[in-house]
Structure 1
Amino acid sequence: MIRANLADRPAIEAFLTDHVATSMFPLSNLRNHGMAGGHPRAVTFWVRWETGRITDVLTVTDEGFAFPQCPTMPWGDLRVALAGQALRGIMGDAGQVAGMRVALGWADAAQVDEIEPLYRLNLADLKLPDCAGYTLCLLAEADRDLAQSWRAAYLRETGLSAGGGLQAAAKNDIAGYIAAGSHRVLRRAGQPVGMTGFNAHLPQTVQIGGVFTPHEFRGQGVARRAVGLHLKEARENGVTDAMLFAANDTAARAYEAIGFTKIGAFAMVIYKDPQVIHV
C-alpha cells in the first residue's frame, strides 16, 4: 500500500462511498477536516491500487485512529506501510478490524473492545412513533450544564473516556456539538428527557451517535422518539439514508421499531496508550 496524495482524493471518495455503511467516519472527517493536517481528525490515506483501480483504503486520523476499508485484507503490506507509527485504535467492519489487529500483533487488552450490530435505514421508510408532547431543540438552546452531565454519564457508561479526563472530555464534546449543530435535546412537555445526534454527516447520509437517555427516563420510548424526530428533520433537509451501531439489545429494539435493519457488525478497539507498529 502507498500513501495517497491530494490528486487521489476523488478516487478515494468514490471508493469509500461505495462502502459507505462502514466508511462514514473517514468520509465525514475528510469532508470536514481534509488531508492537509492541522486538526486531530484530519486524515491521511494509504491506498492499494490494482490495474488503475483502488482495491483497499486505510484512513488514519492525526489523533491516531485507523479506519480500514480493505476488502482484500492486505494486512502484511499495511503493516509495512505503517511501520514506526503509533495508533490509538481501529474502527470499522468487524471482520476487517479483527484481521488488522491480529496482523499488527495487538494482543494486549484494550480500553474499549466492542463489536456492535450495524444498522441502516432508508429515510423514506422511517416509522415515526407518536410524538405528541415531544419536541426537539438545538443543543445550543438547552441547559449546557445538564448536557455536559449527560455526556459525562454517556462516556462513563461506554468507557470512551478514562478517569480524570471525564468532565473535561464531556465539556469539550458538548462545545464541539454546539459548534457543529450536530446534536439535539428531546423535551417532553418542556422537560429535557434525552439527547441525540449525528457523529458523521454527509449530504445524503447521516450516522447517529451519542444517543443518551438518563436513567429516570429509560424504558419510556425516549431514544426512538429523539432519533426519529432528528431523522425526520434530516429527511426534510435532503438526507436519504441513516446508519448507526447499537450498543445493546434495548437500543437495537428501539432502532428496529423506527425501521432500521441490521446489515453487519461494527468494531471499535481503543487503547489508553498509543500502540507502536513494528514490522
Structure 2
Amino acid sequence: MFPLANLARHGMAGGHPRAMRFWIAGLPPVAVLGATDDGMVLPQVPTEQAGEAAKAVAGQRVLGLLGEGAQVAALREAMGLGDASALLDREEPLFSLDLAGLRMPSSMGLALAPLSAAPRDLLLQWRAAYGREVLGWVEGAEAQAECDIDGDLAQGQHRILFRHGEPVAMTGFNARLPGIVQVGGVWTPPELRGQGLARAAVGLHLAEARDEGAKRAILFSASEMAARAYRALGFQEIGRFTLLIFAEPQEVRPA
C-alpha cells in the first residue's frame, strides 16, 4: 500500500519526502523495490532476489525499511546493514478485512468527526505521545507531531472520536487507493484504554469508507491489545510486517 499510495499522491518527479523511485526486475515484474526521497525503502522483493535489489541502491542513503517481515530481514542483510543500530525494529501481525464482513461495535454515545473538530493542541499532544510509544520518537517529537498533524488535516483521512462531546480517540487511513484503505495512526490516551474506544473509532471510519466504495482494509498492529480490537471487527491475520528505522541514516553497502 505505501509504495502505490505514495506514487499516486506524490509521483516520481521528486520534491516531496515521500515521492517515489523504483527498481523493477522482470517483465512482468517479479520484484519491485520502492524508495522515497527521504530514504525509506519499501520492498516487494522475494528473499532470493534481495542481493540484486541491494545492488540497485548501492551507495544510497537509507533511513529505514518497511515491508513483509522475511523480505525486510533478507534485504537488510544484503544491504550490509545487519549490524546497524535501529531506533525501531519491530515485526507486527498484518491483518486484512473484507469490508462486507465488518463487525460493527456499539457506538452509543459516540460520534466520529473530522480531525479539525478537535483542538489543535490536543491533536499535537496525542500525535507526539503516539510517536513516542509506537514509532520510537525520542528527540523532536513535538516538531514531528506538528508536521504530521498538518499533513493529516490537509489530506482529510483522519478522524476524532467523541464521547458525549469529549474527544476520546483518534484513527485514520495512512494509505488509500481505489477500493482499499490502510488503517494507521490509531490512538487512545492510556487513561481511556480498555473501553472499546479505538475499536469503535476504527469501525465507524471503516463503515464510512465502505459507504464510499472501499471493499477491503488492511493494517498492522503494534500491540496485542490493539490486535484483539481488530480481530473483534473481523480482521484476520495474513502475515507479518516489519517496521525498521535506523538510529542514523545509513549508506547501502551490499556484499
TM-score range, shorter chain: over 0.9
Map 1:1-279 onto structure 2 (within 5 A). 24-49=1-26, 52-71=27-46, 73-106=48-81, 107-163=83-139, 165-279=140-254
Which residue identity lines up with residue 237 of structure 2 in the other structure?
K
Consecutive unaligned residues of structure 2, counting only runs of 5 or more, are: none
Q: Give per-residue Cα distances to partners, 1:79-137, cap 9 Å, x unaligned.
A: 22111111000110001000001111211230000000000000000000111110001
Which residue identity lines up with residue 195 of structure 2 in the other structure?
Q
Shift of 1:203: 1.4
Shift of 1:72: 5.6
Shift of 1:259: 0.4
Tell me whether 31-40 or 65-74 shows the greater mean CA deviation: 65-74
What RMSD, in angstroms, separates the aligned Cα atoms of the two structures?
A: 1.0
Secondary structure at 1:271's aligned position in 2? strand
Consecutive unaligned residues of structure 1, counting only runs of 5 or more, are: 1-23
Shift of 1:73: 3.1
How many angstroms apart in 2 are the aligned matches of 1:236 and 1:97? Answer: 35
Which residue identity lines up with residue 260 of structure 1 in the other structure?
F
Shift of 1:71: 2.4
How many angstroms apart in 1 are the aligned matches of 2:161 and 2:7? Answer: 30
Paired residues in the alignment total: 253
TM-score, normalised to structure 2, is 0.97
